[in-house]
Amino acid sequence: MAGEYDILLTSRFIVTAILAVLVVVSFGIGFLCSLHALLRYQTGWKALTQRFPAMNVHKLGGSYKRRTGFFGSGHRNGVNGMFLIEPALEGFLVTASFARRSPILIPWPAIRDVVEANIFELQPGVLLTVDYETPLKFSLPADASTVIRENVTEQRLHKVVSVSELVKTA
């Protein structure tokens, strides 16, 4: 009789543990879906996909993972490390981790300004400003500058040497 009671308690414990794991996983998935929906709304990603549709893209090879995008005015509107940016013949293909099925293509003529910053040799990089209704910028590593120089006119390229200049452009 005692052995049957132990088996019953053990089976209840297993069922309870499985249910607890399922609840935690469900809340985790729900949280991620909510976060992705919030980021799509906050960045205006739907409007961006309509303005910059990614159709017939010819990738050049190479990719820049975990890049940052700035949406709207101010530095608080940065979305850190959520973008995969790939050079293409037509421009830059930008895929957001919160909207993987709907990337955007920033064509070369839509790149309004390119700032190359190499301040104190700390994380040299490139900041692209896109010609859009609201401020839209993406950061890229310094090795992306060769592809950019080949496709963007000299008038839109700027080199920054001081911290104050970088603050003025951002």
The reply to whether CATH 2.30.29.30 applies to domain 45-169 is yes
How confident is the chain (170 residues) per 10-residue block, as mean pLDDT?
61 81 89 82 89 91 90 72 92 93 94 79 79 88 88 82 55
Residue type, 143: D
The alpha-carbon radius of gyration of the chain (Å, integer) is 23
Residue type, 80: N
Torsion-angle region of residue 68: left (phi > 0), alpha (psi -120 to 50) or beta?
A: beta
165 HSE (CA, 13 A, CB side): 11
Q: Is the pTM of this model over 0.85?
A: no
Extents of the domains making up the chain: 1-43, 45-169
